[in-house]
Chains A and B, each alone.
Chain A
Amino acid sequence: MQHLIEMSGIKKSFAGVVALQNANLHIAPGEVHAIIGQNGAGKSTLIKILTGVYRRDAGEVTINGTPSTVSTPREAQDAGIATIYQELSLVPLRSVTENVMMGYEPRTRFGTIDWKAAHKRTREILERFGIDIDVKAQLGSYSTAIQQLVAIARAVSLNAQLVIMDEATSSLDDQEIEILFSVVRELKKEGVAVLYISHFLDELYQICDRVTIMRDGQTVGQRVISETTKLGLISEMLGRDPEEIEAAGMTGLGGGEKAEPGSSLFEAENISTARGLKDVSLTLRKGEIVGLGGLLGSGRTETARALFGLDGLKSGKIDAHGSSGQIGTPAEAIAAGVGFLTEDRKREGIVPHMSVRENMTLALLPKLKTMGMVDRKRETELVERFIKSLGIKTSGMEQPIRELSGGNQQKVLLARWLALEPEVLILDEPTRGVDVGAKFEIQSIIREYVDKGLGVLLISSEFEELVEGADRIVVLRDGFSITELENPGVTEEALIAAIAHHHEEAAA
Chain B
Amino acid sequence: MLDTTAFDLRRYIQGNNHSLGVWITLIALIVFGVMRYDNFGGSYNISSFLNYNAMFIVIAVGMCFVIMTGGIDLSVGSVAAFTSVVAAYLSPYGIQVALPGAVAAGLAIGGLNAFFVVAMRIPPFIATLATMLGAKGGALVISGAQTISIDWTSNFTKLGLEKAFGILPWTIVITAIVVVGLWVLLEKTSLGRTVLAIGGGEDASVMMGLNVTRAKVLVYVLSGGCAGMAGLFLASGFGAGQPLEGVGWELSAIASVVVGGTLLTGGMGSISATVAGALLLGLVFNILNFENGRGVISLSAYWQMVIRGAFLFAVIVFQSRVASTAKKGTI
CA distance A372 to B204 in the complex (A): 23
Instruction: Establish whether residues A353 and B188, one from each chain, have CB atoms under 8 Å apart when the complex forms.
Output: no
| Contact status of A373 and B189, CB under 8 A, knowing A330-B208, A352-B267 | yes
Instruction: Establish whether residues B209 and A374, one from each chain, have CB atoms under 8 Å apart when the complex forms.
Output: no
The prevalent SS among residues of B at the interface is: helix
Q: A132 in the interface, Cβ–Cβ < 8 Å?
A: no
Q: B203 in the interface, Cβ–Cβ < 8 Å?
A: yes
CA distance A333 to B209 in the complex (A): 8
| Contact status of A354 and B200, CB under 8 A, knowing A15-B328, A374-B193 | yes
Chain A residues with CB under 8 Å of B15's CB are: 398
Q: Which of A15, A329, A348 contacts B204 (CB 8 A)?
A: A348
Q: A366 in the interface, Cβ–Cβ < 8 Å?
A: yes
Q: Which of B188, B197, B211, B329 contacts A351 (CB 8 A)?
A: B197
CA distance A365 to B188 in the complex (A): 11
7 extra A-B contacts, CB within 8 A, seeds A347-B204, A351-B196: A330-B206, A330-B207, A350-B201, A352-B201, A363-B210, A374-B190, A398-B15
Q: How far is the CB of A425 from chain B (nearest CB, A)?
A: 13
CA distance A354 to B189 in the complex (A): 15
CA distance A255 to B184 in the complex (A): 49
Report B's interface with A, CB cutoff 8 A: 15, 184, 188-190, 193-194, 196-197, 199-201, 203-211, 263, 267-268, 328-329
| Contact status of A363 and B193, CB under 8 A, knowing A353-B263, A354-B267, A374-B188 | no
Instruction: Establish whether residues B207 and A349, one from each chain, have CB atoms under 8 Å apart when the complex forms.
Output: yes
Nearest-neighbor residue (CB-CB) of A376 within chain B: B188
Instruction: Establish whether residues A362 and B210, one from each chain, have CB atoms under 8 Å apart when the complex forms.
Output: yes
Contact with B along A243-283 (1 / 0, CB 8 A): 00000000000000000000000000000000000000000
Instruction: Establish whether residues B204 and A349, one from each chain, have CB atoms under 8 Å apart when the complex forms.
Output: yes
Contact with B along A323-346 (1 / 0, CB 8 A): 000000111011100001010100
23 CB-based A-B contacts, threshold 8 Å:
A308-B207, A310-B207, A330-B208, A348-B201, A348-B203, A348-B207, A349-B207, A351-B200, A351-B204, A352-B201, A353-B199, A354-B267, A362-B193, A362-B197, A362-B205, A362-B208, A362-B210, A365-B190, A366-B190, A372-B190, A373-B189, A374-B188, A374-B193
| Contact status of A350 and B204, CB under 8 A, knowing A15-B328, A362-B193, A372-B189 | yes
Q: How far is the CB of A170 from chain B (nearest CB, A)?
A: 19
Which residues of A in the span 377-418 have a Cβ within 8 Å of any Cβ on B? 398, 416
Nearest-neighbor residue (CB-CB) of A358 within chain B: B193
Q: A177 in the interface, Cβ–Cβ < 8 Å?
A: no
Chain A residues with CB under 8 Å of B197's CB are: 351, 354, 358, 362
Nearest-neighbor residue (CB-CB) of B200 within chain A: A351
Chain B residues with CB under 8 Å of A310's CB are: 207
Q: A368 in the interface, Cβ–Cβ < 8 Å?
A: yes
CA distance A174 to B135 in the complex (A): 56
CA distance A108 to B205 in the complex (A): 51
CA distance A358 to B192 in the complex (A): 12
Instruction: Establish whether residues A374 and B204, one from each chain, have CB atoms under 8 Å apart when the complex forms.
Output: no
Q: A230 in the interface, Cβ–Cβ < 8 Å?
A: no
Q: How far is the CB of A153 from chain B (nearest CB, A)?
A: 31
Residue from A334, A353, A358 whose CB has the most chain B CB atoms within 10 Å: A353
Nearest-neighbor residue (CB-CB) of A308 within chain B: B207
CA distance A335 to B208 in the complex (A): 11
Q: How far is the CB of A123 from chain B (nearest CB, A)?
A: 37
The 9 closest A-B pairs by CB, nearest first: A351-B200, A365-B190, A334-B209, A331-B209, A363-B208, A353-B267, A330-B209, A351-B201, A353-B200
Nearest-neighbor residue (CB-CB) of A332 within chain B: B209
Q: How far is the CB of A51 from chain B (nearest CB, A)?
A: 21
Instruction: Establish whether residues A353 and B209, one from each chain, have CB atoms under 8 Å apart when the complex forms.
Output: no
Residue from A344, A365, A372, A374 whose CB has the most chain B CB atoms within 10 Å: A365
Q: A501 in the interface, Cβ–Cβ < 8 Å?
A: no
Q: A452 in the interface, Cβ–Cβ < 8 Å?
A: no
Nearest-neighbor residue (CB-CB) of B269 within chain A: A353
Chain B residues with CB under 8 Å of A344's CB are: 203
Q: A136 in the interface, Cβ–Cβ < 8 Å?
A: no
| Contact status of A342 and B189, CB under 8 A, knowing A15-B329, A365-B194 | no
Q: How far is the CB of A198 from chain B (nearest CB, A)?
A: 26
Q: Which of A334, A342, A352, A365 contacts B193 (CB 8 A)?
A: A365
| Contact status of A354 and B206, CB under 8 A, knowing A15-B328, A373-B189 | no
Q: A240 in the interface, Cβ–Cβ < 8 Å?
A: no
Q: A369 in the interface, Cβ–Cβ < 8 Å?
A: yes
Q: How far is the CB of B236 from chain A (nearest CB, A)?
A: 32
Nearest-neighbor residue (CB-CB) of B196 within chain A: A354
CA distance A299 to B227 in the complex (A): 49
Q: How far is the CB of B256 from chain A (nearest CB, A)?
A: 20
Nearest-neighbor residue (CB-CB) of B199 within chain A: A353
Chain A residues with CB under 8 Å of B193's CB are: 358, 362, 365, 374
CA distance A78 to B126 in the complex (A): 44
Contact with B along A306-332 (1 / 0, CB 8 A): 001010000000000000000001110
Instruction: Establish whether residues A352 and B200, one from each chain, have CB atoms under 8 Å apart when the complex forms.
Output: yes
CA distance A373 to B188 in the complex (A): 5
Nearest-neighbor residue (CB-CB) of B191 within chain A: A372
Q: How far is the CB of A55 from chain B (nearest CB, A)?
A: 14
CA distance A362 to B210 in the complex (A): 8
Nearest-neighbor residue (CB-CB) of A351 within chain B: B200
| Contact status of A347 and B209, CB under 8 A, knowing A15-B328, A354-B196 | no
CA distance A348 to B197 in the complex (A): 11
Chain B residues with CB under 8 Å of A331's CB are: 209-211
Q: How far is the CB of B200 from chain A (nearest CB, A)?
A: 4
Chain A residues with CB under 8 Å of B211's CB are: 331
Chain B residues with CB under 8 Å of A362's CB are: 193-194, 197, 205, 208, 210
Instruction: Establish whether residues B189 and A351, one from each chain, have CB atoms under 8 Å apart when the complex forms.
Output: no
Q: Which of A335, A353, A366 contacts B268 (CB 8 A)?
A: A353
Q: How far is the CB of B321 from chain A (nearest CB, A)?
A: 18
Q: How far is the CB of A316 from chain B (nearest CB, A)?
A: 22
Q: How far is the CB of A358 from chain B (nearest CB, A)?
A: 6
